[in-house]
A and B are shown apart, each in its own frame.
Chain A
Amino acid sequence: MIMTETDLHVLEPDPSDRTLLLEINDLRVGLRRGRTETTIVDGVSFDVDPRTRFGIVGESGSGKSMTLRAIAGLLPGGTEVLSGSIRYRGTDLVTAKPSVRRGLMGPEIAMIFQEPMTALNPVRPVGDQIAEGPRRHLGLSKKEGRALALEMMGHTGIPDPVRRVRAYPHELSGGLRQRVMIAMALACRPKLLLCDEPTTALDVTVQHQVLDMLESLCAEVGAALVFVTHDLAVVNKTCSDLAVMYAGRIVESGRTSEVLANPRHPYTRGLLDSAPDFDQPGRALVPIPGLPPSIANRPPGCAFAPRCSRAVAECDSAAPILTTSTDHRTVACFRAEASGSEISA
């Protein structure tokens, strides 16, 4: 049965309290040299509701960080949004004036980066760096800024904040540094927190503590979370919804529990089979053979075809389109595993 887009909305549970916070539509990010474009992120679309947690998983180089940085307006030099829209509460961030964007960064949208060592300014005390955003956006005095920094450091579980507020980043452990980052990001009580692998650089025990703290603080502040990781266990623990990215595209998305319990895309299946201790500890790990294609030479058909055990001839010639089924799951595969009835995307 084919449905129109308006029908889709009817299917949403309780549309009244679901004003969209973030709405990304057909986002393409890449490099532009004269008239030639190199696409890194290719046609990504997803929505994030207020106070929800959305995960993006995928192998290294799949474009997760690029997607996140595009939302924050922090794409690295040379790369840019080629087309598509990123609507934050109705405002398209792609076309918004830089001043409007900057006004949003901090009080509305905040970001936590992958590497807490390099994401903090090495020559300024961490307390100043936490207080900087609130002082700028909320007009706090130096004293009020310091007080807020102390309070946020306490909330993120940093022991002895009075001493640590003056510390330089290199004087703190990785776990404490990431707590400082979180304190900094949430200091202005943003509505949307973008996290780029916030716990990857930490050891497992610290990872869990930081994740728990992050979740509860976000709930308290009322921030929605977009959470990038390559760790399925982490999304499973943290996120209600997830998208799986491969070679710059979303290949599957849906409710986290459903996707992980019953993956439909061979790549998602492969990720699960290669993740240690995910469902049954002691199960033999099956790595996905081969490597993801480089952005310069993605295959013409399905980008996963060279590594896919289910691939058929069709997969090499045409790219599968992301389709949404009646059970709110999307998948881009000609031979997706058992799925509900499909509607066009």
Chain B
Amino acid sequence: MLHRLIFVPARLVQAVPVVLGVTLIVFFMSHLLPGDPALAILGDKATPESVSALRDQLGLDQPIWQQYVHFLSNIVHGDLGTSFTYQRPVTDVVLQAVPVTLTLVALALLLNIVISVPLAGLAAMKPNRTPDLIVRALNMVGQGMPQFWVGIMLILLFGVRLRWFPVGGYGDTPLQHLYYLLLPALTLAIALSPTTIRSLRSSTITVLGSDYVATARSKGLSGLPLFRRHVLRNSGIPTVSIVGVHLANLVGGSIVIEKVFAIPGLGSVMLDAIYARDFPSIQAVTLVVALLVTVASILTDVLYVVMDPRVSLGTGVRV
């Protein structure tokens, strides 16, 4: 097993230029704004003192490459500046938000499995029969619904009308966190499930027609045991890579959804920072999201290798 994960260190090394690229973009964000970055960043609130303070903080009087090196060394030391809005080190703000968003995304992935596996299985058992047609219709509807709208509908139904779930917020204890995150996670899962179901349905149909499933049936297996032991993992393998590709979208989606549900995650920090022109925060969130997406893509590959004993990704670039 372990020897098949030999690609992980190599992938980490390959990720370095990607992350460097992101730092470059993040760094130049402030310089692409017209005029004096400090002035542009501060906007209406600018006072001569604050402008010169920011110019100092950004090191705007130094040559640009020196500024970048400085920026990098700050990142390495975990110093991403001070948030204008929160008046706290940006690192603190972001580190507080990261677990919230991670929990949200993880819960969304879990719910996505809970929704997609049974529906895809049901549809695949008898292609083109009624259950399949219903699932496919649901899929099309699901794909047509904007995410924020689904979120609002869920709030109206489960929060306002049925009062089963809070309409927003994050709660105080870990258990409350999960409870508060359930509806937003469901919103994200509903958005992700059409892609998952479509992939899983077609791979399940293929697997159900395979020789090894016939072999399993020839041993007297059927129903759930057959599904669990001979279908699920095989049909899940191609789906894992597809969901992996959509992980970045999921994180993107969570930015909007966090705002809809007033959850203090990375998305909320990001949107607040954009409204407030809180530049250091914007830079930090962008950087952290890029890091998370990179790690997630490596984890996807790890999962892929763990699920399929035939795969060994080697150390080269994946094509």
Chain A minimum-CB-distance residue to B233: A123
Q: Which of B211, B219, B310 contacts A133 (CB 8 A)?
A: B219
Instruction: Specify the chain B residue showing the minimal Cβ separation from A111.
Output: B218
Complex Cα gap A73–B219 (Å): 11
Given contacts A119-B214, A123-B234, contact A137 B309 (CB under 8 A): no
CB–CB B221/A136 < 8 A? yes
A102 to B223, CA, bound (A): 11
Q: Is B217 located at the chain interface by the 8 A CB criterion?
A: yes
Q: Is B222 close to A, CB under 8 A?
A: yes
Q: A98 to B217, alpha carbons, bound, how many Å?
A: 11
CA distance A120 to B212 in the complex (A): 5
Contact B212 A122 (CB under 8 A): yes
B47 beta carbon closer than 8 Å to chain A: no
* A105 and B309 within 8 A (CB): no
| Contact yes or no, B215 A113, CB < 8 A | yes
- Is the pair B307, A105 in contact by a Cβ cutoff of 8 Å? no
Q: Which of B221, B237, B310 contacts A168 (CB 8 A)?
A: B310
Are A121 and B216 closer than 8 Å at their CB atoms? yes
By a CB distance below 8 angstroms, the chain B residues around A105 are 217-220
Does B66 touch A at the CB level, under 8 Å? no
Q: How many residues of B are in contact with the other chain, CB < 8 A?
A: 23
- Indicate which residue in B212, B219, B237, B309 contacts A106 across the interface (CB closer than 8 Å): B219
A326 to B230, CA, bound (A): 50
Contact: B309 with A170, CB < 8 Å?
Answer: yes
Task: Report the separation of the CA atoms of residues A106 and B218 in the bound assembly, to the nearest whole angstrom.
Answer: 7
The minimal Cβ–Cβ distance linking A2 to chain B, given in whole angstroms, is 42
Q: Tell me which of B215, B216, B308 has the highest count of chain A C-beta atoms within 10 A of its own C-beta.
A: B215
Within 8 A of B (CB), among A98-112: 98, 102-107, 110-111
- B229: which A residues are within 8 A, CB to CB? 121, 124, 132
B218–A72 contact, CB under 8 A?
yes
Query: Contacts A113-B211, A132-B229 hold; do A122 and B234 have CB atoms under 8 A apart?
Result: yes
Query: Is A132 touching B219 in the complex (CB atoms < 8 A)?
Result: yes
Taken residue by residue from 77 to 119, chain A's Cβ proximity to chain B (1 for < 8 Å, 0 otherwise) reads as 1000000000000000000001000111111001101010011
Contact of A286 with B by CB under 8 A = no
- Contacts of A122 on B, CB cut-off 8 Å? 212, 234, 308-310
Known A123-B233, A124-B229: A118·B212 in contact at CB below 8 Å: yes
Residue in chain A with minimal CB distance to B126 = A77
Mask, A8-52, CB within 8 Å of B = 1, is 000000000000000000000000000000000000000000000
Contact across chains for B217 and A119 when beta carbons are under 8 A apart = no
CB within 8 Å for A119 and B222 given contacts A132-B229, A170-B309: no
**What residue in chain B is nearest A121 (Cβ atoms)?**
B212
Cα separation A73 to B209 with both chains bound (whole Å): 14
B52 contacts partner chain A, Cβ-Cβ < 8 Å: no
Contact A137 B216 (CB under 8 A): no
User: Does B74 belong to the interface (CB within 8 Å)?
Assistant: no
CA gap between A342 and B225 in the complex, in Å: 52
Asked whether any CB of chain A lies closer than 8 Å to the CB of B210, the reply is yes
Q: Which residues of A contact B (CB under 8 A)?
A: 69, 72-74, 76-77, 98, 102-107, 110-111, 113, 115, 118-124, 129, 132-133, 136-137, 168, 170, 181, 184-185
